Structure 1
């Protein structure tokens, strides 16, 4: 179903929501187009991931109707049932949150791309789970761009550990090395951080030329990410509005 088509059973509330999401998608696509033009890049180089955390599966369906089929989630307990509910849609599921080792088996069962691989134990757990499930998720090394990673922070391997982790992913059964991911440090200009990530990604491609994904940029800093070579953007609020307290 295209965004011009309306289901017969659509309610006024669902019609309003569809219009809100369509407006958000159009605005983000316009920002991406402008940022690509400014950076001398082609829009086809950018994959837009809709981060739907706290939003219901009905919003995922509306996004798919607008042609946005790359979906990101950051909590397994929310992502797993949502992926099951939308199993009839041609979606690519991205796990973008910090991942506990004991959740590896569940996440490997439905995620196509896992953005947050930051330690050896997680590589081993994901490999075992992927082989058992007969799946081959693409894994990204999450890089910490914070000068000092705080306890309970967003995770990420220090830059010096990236080559080793990348080698481990590439050698692991059931996994495919896709590239790198990072979140810009809070409260700082994202441009220097994304510039560092670009250099780390370039070094990684020296040994793993097919690991071309650079996952960087969210609602507030997607322009800077595109300027620094990001290939994948993780956008939530700008597409869907403010976070909701609970999914029903």
Structure 2
């Protein structure tokens, strides 16, 4: 596919996703300005990120640290004047903390004390070394179905983990994130997440972000208060353009 054809394809997909978001917000009695569109660019090249940024997007998400690190650097070379904001949304091992804090503006998948501590230490070192200018924004990932291997803190543990994060000066608690259970009812899952998010906000009013909803269930997430939807397939397509 030519560069122009790909640009047109992405523009059409973006218009369709934005239309879905607008309709979902209207149905929920909300303003579309309340919901951020986060483009999940895993397995797609930096050139697609450039095209999406030229189409008006500024927030991008990655699932794997090594792929993200390389892509962020490539994007910076392709568009040195760009202002992309990068999110880590995949499960993160503690030994990747030092690397991820050098490129990520936000880590949405904090699900344990040990990971939070590792990120805080890595952020402190990066700030001292001049590799970062600001503390790291983080979200607590909530496990809504207790599935092994999917990541996320159990709901009962979320308030305690949120409190632990706020005791560090290197991390800034911004809210919660979750993925709807596979094959489950997204309305029920996102209603539960909304209740958890509200409990967190009572103690931490700055933690206003609710990252929920993807290509297949964004309407349900918006109806239950999501402030950020993470869209990959509906925006970029289902095929892989680069090796994982």
Q: TM-score, normalised by structure 1?
A: 0.92
3-state SS of paired residue (1:86): helix
How far does the alpha carbon of each residue in 1:11-47 deviate from its partner, in whole angstroms, 9 at most, with x for none?
x700000011001100000000000000000011011
Aligned to 1:149: 147
* Counterpart pick for 2:6 among 17, 20, 24: 17
How far does the alpha carbon of each residue in 1:94-132 deviate from its partner, in whole angstroms, 9 at most, with x for none?
000001111011111111111000001101100001111
Structure-1 separation of matches of 2:207 and 2:89: 17
Q: Single out whichever of 163-172 and 34-43 deviates more from structure 2.
A: 163-172
2:38–2:231 CA contact under 8 A, matched in 1:
yes
Aligned to 2:94: 101
Gaps of 5+ in 2: none
* Counterpart pick for 2:192 among 186, 193, 196: 196
How far does the alpha carbon of each residue in 1:154-177 deviate from its partner, in whole angstroms, 9 at most, with x for none?
100000100111011111131100
Q: What does 1:170-189 align with in structure 2 at a 5 Å threshold?
A: 170-189=166-185
Q: Verify: 1:53 aligned to 2:52, yes or no.
A: no
The root-mean-square deviation of aligned C-alpha atoms, in Å, is 1.2
Aligned to 2:74: 85
Q: Verify: 1:115 aligned to 2:108, yes or no.
A: yes
Aligned to 1:228: 224
How many angstroms does 1:247 deviate by? 4.0
Q: TM-score, normalised by structure 2?
A: 0.94
* Counterpart pick for 2:26 among 21, 30, 37: 37
Q: Single out whichever of 168-177 and 55-64 deviates more from structure 2.
A: 168-177
Query: Displaced runs of 4+ in structure 1, greater than 6 A?
Result: none
Structure-1 separation of matches of 2:121 and 2:239: 34
1:128–1:173 CA contact under 8 A, matched in 2:
no
